[in-house]
Chain A
Amino acid sequence: MGMTMTQKILAAHAGLDSVTAGQLIEAKLDVVMANDITGPMALPIFRQMADKVFDKDKVVLVPDHFTPNKDIKSAENSKAIREFAKDQGLSWYFEQGKSGVEHAILPEAGVVAAGECIIGADSHTCTYGALGAFSTGVGTTDIATGMAMGELWFKVPSAIKFVLTGKPGRYVSGKDIIIHIIGKIGVDGALYKSMEFTGDGIRNLSMADRFTMANMAIEAGAKNGIFPVDEKTEEYLKEHTKKDYHVYEADEDAEYESIVEIDLSEVRPTVAFPHLPGNAKTIDEIEAMEPIKIDQVVIGSCTNGRMEDMRKAAAILQGHTVHPDVRVMVIPATQKIYKQCIREGLLEIFVDAGCAVNTPSCGPCMGGHMGVMAAGEKCVSTTNRNFVGRMGHVDSLIYLASPEVAAASAIAGYIANPEKVGDK
């Protein structure tokens, strides 16, 4: 029987000719990544198994969650992984000022590539599936074991095939498509499974769109989300990485648990209402409701802090000012993106509109710092989770949206249709 794209990558990394769904395997790892929350906790566990990491080119540390350090405990945690990176001579340690949000910086710096088997102690590690890699989030003990051994056990997942056709409309991007999909299948709709994206429509999706979609595969419970490698992927890889990479394709007779067809031309700007990423409502449904007044807007994160996202938000905000009752945080996801925003004049647009532009960090996404919310406040956020208390007080509300919807809402003061505000 044929294998899915994910199964082929796992088989190759387990040294097996073939694997089937449900099989338990031990696979070799190409990248093992942790951050300033999961990394420090992994170190004492790692030391129970080894003195040296299995490969100093494959273990990656990114302090990005509570950085620039928000308090003394966070500073101690960052210090612990900084010293560890230095002691071990790690090739990839991303210090603030030369760094960014982990899932934006790893592809940008060429640390991850197609065909690889990647684990990260962060649930959104599934982002790198956009490059045609198997990539999944794990916890601290798993990551410590990966750092020590360079391999880890996996249960080979079955898969759901998403056949994408058509071309998305002007204000529809990866964020709208993935919220639409999670709305359709539910927040546990892909539990333990791969989400394999296929179909002609993929050629109409930018790499930024694909990163956003793979990033939120976990919000449907998936083990990983994965895209086939096409010309756009190859172009991206050539521009960003020096690594050799391998292109895998699903077998034609691969078995899928189900097939979901999505016509991208029919997807509308879509917002996830509190408190689940699957509470999807189209902008048309929202416009038929009483206006939902907001207090805060966040544009950034591993989901939507890339250059394309900055450009889309700036195109809408240009020449406008943020509504007087709304605070806006724009957070370019990496230093390179930050600099490109300066070059293209986007920072000026954001500042002139009345946005705070922050240094790359996960910051407000998980209520860490730089935009924590008070009771009763509402936020439109381009991040990935809208759970109870995720961005602050348990009585605050989060609406997940694209950069276009977020920018339009910042101007209007309520959740707004970017088609109505228009860009310049």
Chain B
Amino acid sequence: MKALGHVFKYGDNVDTDVIIPARYLNSYDAQELASHAMADIDPEFVNKVQPGDIIVANKNFGCGSSREHAPLCLKTAGVSCVIAETFARIFYRNAINIGLPIIECPEAAKAIEAGDEVEIDFDSGKIYDRTKGTEFKGQPFPEFMQKLIAAGGLVKYTNSKRK
């Protein structure tokens, strides 16, 4: 599996309140949530984002609330991957569970800049910045999580285990 897109760059501690503010949480409709993605940190995001685009951020991405609406709105808005130095743990679980690819890679998080065109090979964990011609290697997922992702998320994994 591969991803290719342009980068939206953010800093440390991008919290789930700015990814999808609570005022929109009276709905869990994915399209509706996607129309408000990143509303309180980057109001232009929803107008600019193209299918395949990539979010790159620094430490503790997705901190705060447990709302699964956060990774869901990003995925539905077209985001193909989030690269960060570190992720907050609930966001990390939620992203895997709904099938939004995420990669921890401090070097890429520091070096890649807004607007760069980036290619990601999820099988090898290779991150290639086409704009700068630089390459990075993301942290591979533990085996159990690879199994979970390969099964198509937690629901399918759970159902396959019961059969």
Contacts and interface: CB of A to CB of B under 8 A. Distances in A.
B89 to A, nearest CB: 5
B158 A188 contact: no
A367 B63 CA distance: 17
B138 interface: no
A188 B86 contact: yes
Contacts of A333: none
A188 B41 CA distance: 20
Contacts of A388: 15, 17-18, 40-41
A389 interface: yes
Given A41-B69, A366-B17, A368-B22, A221 B88 contact: yes
B23 A41 contact: no
Interface string A31-75: 000000110110001001100000000000000011000110110
B133 interface: no
Interface residues of B, number: 38
A74 B40 CA distance: 21
7 contacts: A41-B28, A139-B93, A145-B154, A188-B13, A276-B13, A367-B21, A367-B23
Interface in A4-46: 24, 37-38, 40-41, 45
Contacts of A141: 68, 94, 97-98, 153-155
A264 interface: no
A51 to B, nearest CB: 13
Contacts of B154: 141-142, 145
A242 to B, nearest CB: 29
Which are the 9 A-B pairs with shortest beta-carbon distances?
A139-B94, A139-B68, A141-B97, A41-B28, A73-B26, A366-B22, A389-B40, A140-B68, A188-B60
A82 interface: no
Interface residues of A, number: 50
B101 interface: no
A191 B86 contact: yes
Contact of B66 (A24, A38, A145): A38
A140 B40 CA distance: 22
A139 B90 contact: yes
B111 interface: no
Given A49-B155, A141-B97, A387-B64, 13 more contacts: A24-B144, A65-B22, A73-B26, A140-B28, A142-B94, A145-B154, A148-B158, A155-B142, A187-B60, A188-B88, A221-B89, A366-B17, A388-B17
Interface string B69-98: 100000000000000001011100110011
A342 interface: no
A123 B66 contact: yes
A116 to B, nearest CB: 19
B34 to A, nearest CB: 15
B101 to A, nearest CB: 16
A24 B40 contact: no
A188 B93 contact: no
Contacts of B66: 38, 120-123, 125, 137-139
Interface centre among A41, A45, A139, A367 (most CB of B within 10 A): A139
A390 interface: yes
A236 interface: no
Contact of A38 (B59, B64, B68): B68
Given A73-B27, A192-B89, A149 B13 contact: no
B89 A387 contact: no
B114 interface: no
Contacts of A389: 17-18, 21, 40
B25 interface: yes
A59 B67 CA distance: 19
Contacts of B67: 37-38, 139
B159 interface: yes
Contact of A45 (B90, B93, B155): B155
A328 to B, nearest CB: 22
A103 interface: no
Interface in A279-321: none
Contacts of A191: 60, 86, 88-89
Given A145-B155, A388-B41, A139 B97 contact: yes
A73 B27 CA distance: 7
A223 interface: yes
Given A137-B90, A368-B22, A144 B155 contact: yes
Contact of B90 (A138, A145, A366): A138
A411 B94 CA distance: 43
A336 interface: no
Nearest to A394: B40
B58 to A, nearest CB: 10
A221 B87 CA distance: 9
B9 to A, nearest CB: 17
B159 to A, nearest CB: 6
A175 interface: no
Contacts of A122: 65-66
Nearest to A37: B25
